[in-house]
């Protein structure tokens, strides 16, 4: 893995530098603003620094279900912490008892903890991990590999058998804690095992738990990848379809996207709706259209699509609201497919599958399979404010191979939408805030 930093006058400029040097598959791991210092600081504007990473031997997958295509393995990441590590005895969280498959590392020595001691250790484990996550980004930045030739490491001194056994035991307990936290956050056990299997070599070599946690953190970020948002190339109009089951918040999400594009980016936006099954949905979108002073056209059949787009060809963006339907309804599925395929190829198009973070995992798997048969898509997750576990975001990302673009966190238009924040979600999945 190669990790570098790039600076620019704006965040976009820094990101473009990273992509130019490291390629379009570079993952932006962190963005921070650097305020000017010194006597003339008040006359200078801030600069932006991005941290980008690329897995040199990683082969990126086509967007097909991950259950049919095994994930590629990542190399180890050499990032260490400055501080000495001293951990209390580590165990597994209570909620994950009875359903854990132990990580594949050296067997843990038998322990004789009483239930009271075990409960106290679990609480200490949770606080320990949260504390490490709070300082993790700083530790990573301090130890980023530099663009210089690495010196050969000095020959390691022999490690006494007792010391090696003790280190492996500590690492084992630490991994069990991480394992339990990921399961508590409803990450599929299959993906938890894949993540921990990839850091097995780091754990076996007697490295500290900060190094292990850094590896887990970075590998999870790489698995999520960089969010792919709506980008306008200048070719007008760009047509964006929003598809998904009933009740996930497609119409409200469209209004949020439209507001951001018009207010923040000064783009001309038009609405089309094919959701004629619910009168309330059309009226809701009409209200947003009136507020934004944007045209709205209701289309009743796929044959009307191109005429409707042609009437707003001077606009930058056309957002299309489609009818929500049960993924088990073949008729409505074919209607949505026909609507998307009816668009003239001369128009640029994107498709976003809108899913609720509160939907059951089993149902989400069925939904993404059905829509995958229809078209390629990017993902938007809604209702993050209505759940405390975000494991399904990682599950569906890895299962579908589709990029997560946006998430919504409430009903307020236009505030409660944001670009998917990879680092924040990974920290929350690992028990941080």
**Weakest mean pLDDT among 209-223, 358-372, 382-396:** 209-223
User: Greater confidence, 343 or 333?
Assistant: 343
Closest CA to 108 of 128, 127, 90: 90
- The pLDDT tens digits for 85-96 are 233 333 344 444
> For position 198, what pLDDT does the model report?
82
Averaged pLDDT for residues 384-398:
95
133 or 200, which is more confident: 200
Helices 209-224 and 391-400 sit at what angle, rounded to 10 degrees? 60
| 177 or 166, greater pLDDT | 177
Q: Which residues of 84-119 are buried (b: 16+ CB within 10 A; e: fewer)?
A: ebebebbbbbeebeeeeeebebbebeeeeeeeeebe
**What is the average pLDDT across 72-92?**
34
Average pLDDT, the chain: 76
Rounded Cα distance between 126 and 141, Å, is 24
pTM for this model (two decimals)? 0.68
Question: Residue 309: which pLDDT band, with cuts at 50, 70 and 90?
Answer: very high
pLDDT recorded at residue 42: 52
- Residue 343 banded pLDDT, cuts 50, 70, 90: very high
Sign of CA dihedral 252, 255, 256, 257: positive
Q: How many Cα neighbours within 13 Å face the side chain of 237?
A: 25
pLDDT tens figures, 174-214: 888 888 999 999 999 999 999 988 887 776 666 677 888 88
- pLDDT of 405 over the 50 cut: yes
Residue (of 137, 134, 197, 207) closest to 170 by Cα position:
207
Q: What is the mean pLDDT of residues 144-159?
A: 42
pLDDT score at 44: 57
Indicate the burial class of 199 (C-beta count within 10 angstroms; 0-12, 13-18, 19 or more).
buried
SS3 state at 419 = strand
Average pLDDT, stretch 296-306?
A: 93
pLDDT band for position 414 (cuts 50, 70, 90) = confident
Instruction: State the Cα–Cα distance between residues 259 and 269, nearest whole angstrom.
Output: 9
DSSP E strand boundaries for 263-394 = 269-273, 296-298, 317-321, 348-356, 378-382
Q: Helix axis angle, 361-374 relative to 391-400, nearest 10°?
A: 30
Residue 56: what pLDDT? 55
Q: Which two tokens stand for residue 183?
A: 């399961």
Q: Hey, which of 19-23, 112-116, 220-224, 323-327 has the most confident mean pLDDT? A: 220-224
In this prediction, residue 317 carries a pLDDT of: 95
**CA distance linking residue 49 with residue 137, whole number of Å:** 14
**Mean pLDDT across 282-301:** 91
Task: Name the strands in the sheet holding 27-34, side by side, starting at the edge strand that comes first in the sequence.
Answer: 2-8, 47-54, 27-34
Beta carbons of 174 and 88 less than 8 angstroms apart? no
Task: For the domain made up of 238-429, give the CATH fold.
Answer: Rossmann fold (3.40.50)
In angstroms, rounded to a whole number, what is the distance separating the alpha carbons of residues 301 and 117?
A: 66
| Residue 278: closest CA among 215, 231, 338, 323 | 323
**Half-sphere exposure (CA, 13 Å, Cβ side) for 270?**
20
Computed on alpha carbons and rounded to an integer, the radius of gyration of the chain in Å comes to 24
Which of 130-134, 228-232, 277-281 has the highest average model confidence (pLDDT)? 228-232
Which residue is associated with the tokens 């001691």?
A: 117
pLDDT at 372 over 60: yes
| Dihedral sign (CA 122, 160, 145, 226) | negative
- Cβ-proximal residues to 6 (8 Å cutoff; 6+ apart), any chain: 14, 15, 17, 18, 21, 49, 50, 52
* Whether residue 5 has pLDDT greater than 60: yes
Nearest alpha-carbon partner for 137 in 214, 197, 64: 214
Q: Which whole number is the average pLDDT over 23-49?
A: 71
pLDDT tier, 222 (very low <50, low <70, confident <90, very high otherwise): very high
The pLDDT of residue 153 is: 44
């Amino acid at each position: 893995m190669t990790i570098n930093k790039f600076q620019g006058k704006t965040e976009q400029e820094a990101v473009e530098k990273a992509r130019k040097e490291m390629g379009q598959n570079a993952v932006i791991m962190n963005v921070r603003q650097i305020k000017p210092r010194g006597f003339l600081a008040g006359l200078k504007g801030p600069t932006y620094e991005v941290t980008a990473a690329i897995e040199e031997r990683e082969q990126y997958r086509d967007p097909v279900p991950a259950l049919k295509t095994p994930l590629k393995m990542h190399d180890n990441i050499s990032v260490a912490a400055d501080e000495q590590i001293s951990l209390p005895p580590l165990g597994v969280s209570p909620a994950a008892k009875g359903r854990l498959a132990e990580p594949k590392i050296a067997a843990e020595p038998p322990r004789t903890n009483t239930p009271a001691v075990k409960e106290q250790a679990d609480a200490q484990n949770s606080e320990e991990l949260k504390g490490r996550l709070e300082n993790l980004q700083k530790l990573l930045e301090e130890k980023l590999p530099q663009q210089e030739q690495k010196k050969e490491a000095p020959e390691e001194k022999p490690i006494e058998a007792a010391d090696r056994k003790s280190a492996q035991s500590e690492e084992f307990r630490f991994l069990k804690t991480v394992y339990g936290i990921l399961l508590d956050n409803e990450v599929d056990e299959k993906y938890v095992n894949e993540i921990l299997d990839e850091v097995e070599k780091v754990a076996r070599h007697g490295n500290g738990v900060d190094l292990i946690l850094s590896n887990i953190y970075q590998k999870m970020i790489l698995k999520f990848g960089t969010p792919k948002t709506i980008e306008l190339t200048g070719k007008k109009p760009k047509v964006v379809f929003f598809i998904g089951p009933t009740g996930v918040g497609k119409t409200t999400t469209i209004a949020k996207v439209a507001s951001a594009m018009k207010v923040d980016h000064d783009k001309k936006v038009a609405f089309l709706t094919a959701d004629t099954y619910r009168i309330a949905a059309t009226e809701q979108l009409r209200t947003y259209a009136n507020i934004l002073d944007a045209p709205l056209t209701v289309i009743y059949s796929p044959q009307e699509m191109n005429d409707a787009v042609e009437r707003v060809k001077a606009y930058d963006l056309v957002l299309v609201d489609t009818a929500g339907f049960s993924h088990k309804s073949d008729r409505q599925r074919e209607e949505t497919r026909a609507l998307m395929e009816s668009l003239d190829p001369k128009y640029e198009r994107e498709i976003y599958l809108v899913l609720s973070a509160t939907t059951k995992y089993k149902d989400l798997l069925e939904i993404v399979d059905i829509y995958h048969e229809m078209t390629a898509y990017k993902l938007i997750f809604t209702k993050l404010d209505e759940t405390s576990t975000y494991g399904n975001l990682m599950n569906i990302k890895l299962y579908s191979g589709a990029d997560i673009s946006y998430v919504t966190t409430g009903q307020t238009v236009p505030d409660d939408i944001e670009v998917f924040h990879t680092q924040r979600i990974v920290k929350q999945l690992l028990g941080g805030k």
